[in-house]
């Protein structure tokens, strides 16, 4: 099976976004990978991640 990774970025204010449009796909058997960008992908390039609630 392939390993699919979504890249997470933090801006200077600490807000996190995840790239759902272009995941990194790795073949663990061969240790080769690439970033896959689908032409007709409905997912956003920068999807905001919710901050954990502070209690």
Digit-coded pLDDT (tens) for 6-29: 999 998 988 899 999 999 999 999
Token readout for 7 is: 């890249």
What pLDDT, on the 0 to 100 scale, is given for residue 41? 85
pLDDT tier at 52, thresholds 50, 70, 90? low
From CA 36, how far away is CA 22, in angstroms rounded? 5
Please tell me the pTM assigned to this model: 0.74
47 belongs to a structural domain: no
Give the range of the structural domain holding residue 34, as residue numbers without chain letter: 3-40
Contacts of 3 (CB under 8 A, 6+ apart): 25, 26, 27, 28, 33
Count of domains for the chain? 1
Mean pLDDT (the chain) is 90
36 falls within a domain: yes
Domain contains 45: no
DSSP lists the bridge partners of residue 9 as 17
For residue 18, tell me if it sits in a domain. yes
The answer to whether position 9 is within a domain reads: yes
Residue 54 lies in a domain: no
Query: With bands split at pLDDT 50, 70 and 90, how would you rate the model's confidence at 39?
Result: confident
Q: Secondary structure of the chain: what % helix, strand, coil (to 5)?
A: 0, 45, 55
pLDDT of residue 1: 92
């Amino acid at each position: 099976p392939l390993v699919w990774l979504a890249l997470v970025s933090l801006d200077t204010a600490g807000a996190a976004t995840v790239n759902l449009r272009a995941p990194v796909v790795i073949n663990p058997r061969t240790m080769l990978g690439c970033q896959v960008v689908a032409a007709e992908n409905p997912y956003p390039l920068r999807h905001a991640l919710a901050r954990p609630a502070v209690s």
